[in-house]
């Protein structure tokens, strides 16, 4: 009774008054520095409140290693990006209002790292797939007859894509190709003709 306390937490309205039912901090004046000006909020669940998650994150940050830089130094400097550890620390322990924006250098750095890691993993997977031998599928006269029987002529783009698909099938390597196009652009007919080559080679029952 009568003691001074600094209190910090979520303020909610109760009728015509404001209240703080569950303060995050309640400290004496001498420990007001323990209350951060900006504090990250993590999704909470039963038995694992946000404050506990925050504690785990801060402990993890203190143990995060200073990894060798993997970005090109000149490009990194031109883009104004921080190091990986600095970016991670800034996002989980923001120091100012500037650190809370969506396009901060720290957020951009980690977003780029995630994209880079994904692309490297895909490239590695693609390399492993290419090393695996695949059947050599030559173009077939049957496919040419099917194409001639179509009630329309293939466009230049469709002919080019079919040629690229046939090149993949003849390479002896596993194909890894994404065919994109608008609705009605001819993806299905091109895929059908490539499948006809495969069927003629006995690879499809």
For the chain, domain boundaries: 36-128, 141-200
Structure confidence at residue 7 (pLDDT) = 92
Tokens of 131: 């090393």
pLDDT in tens, 131-184: 777 888 898 998 999 999 999 999 999 999 999 999 989 988 888 788 888 888
Structure confidence at residue 121 (pLDDT) = 95
Whether 28 has a pLDDT exceeding 80, the answer reads: yes
pLDDT in tens, 37-88: 888 888 888 888 887 888 899 899 999 999 999 999 999 999 999 999 999 9
Query: Which residues are CB-contacts of 99 (< 8 A; sequence separation ≥ 6)?
Result: 38, 90, 91, 106
The reported pTM is 0.59
Buried b (16+ CB within 10 A) or exposed e, 24-36: bbeeeeeeeeeee
C-alpha–C-alpha distance, residues 67 and 99, integer Å:
22
C-alpha–C-alpha distance, residues 187 and 2, integer Å:
78
Query: Which residues are CB-contacts of 33 (< 8 A; sequence separation ≥ 6)?
Result: none
């Amino acid at each position: 009774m009568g003691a001074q306390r600094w209190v910090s937490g979520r303020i909610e309205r109760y009728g015509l008054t404001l209240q703080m039912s569950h303060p995050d901090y309640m400290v004496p004046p001498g420990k007001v520095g323990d209350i951060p000006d900006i504090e990250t909020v993590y999704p909470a669940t039963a038995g694992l409140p946000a404050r506990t998650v925050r504690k785990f994150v801060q402990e993890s940050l203190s143990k995060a290693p200073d990894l060798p830089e993997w970005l090109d130094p000149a490009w990194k400097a031109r883009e104004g990006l921080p190091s990986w550890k600095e970016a991670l620390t800034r996002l989980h322990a923001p120091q100012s209002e500037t650190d809370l924006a969506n396009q901060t250098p720290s957020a951009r750095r980690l977003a780029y790292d995630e994209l880079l890691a994904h692309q490297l993993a895909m490239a590695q997977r693609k390399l492993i797939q290419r090393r695996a031998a695949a059947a050599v599928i030559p173009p077939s006269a049957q496919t040419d007859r099917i194409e001639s029987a179509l009630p329309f002529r293939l466009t230049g783009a469709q002919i080019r894509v079919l040629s690229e698909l046939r090149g993949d099938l003849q390479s002896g390597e596993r194909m890894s190709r994404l065919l994109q196009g608008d609705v009605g652009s001819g993806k299905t007919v091109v895929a059908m003709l490539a499948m006809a080559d495969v069927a003629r080679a006995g690879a499809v029952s």
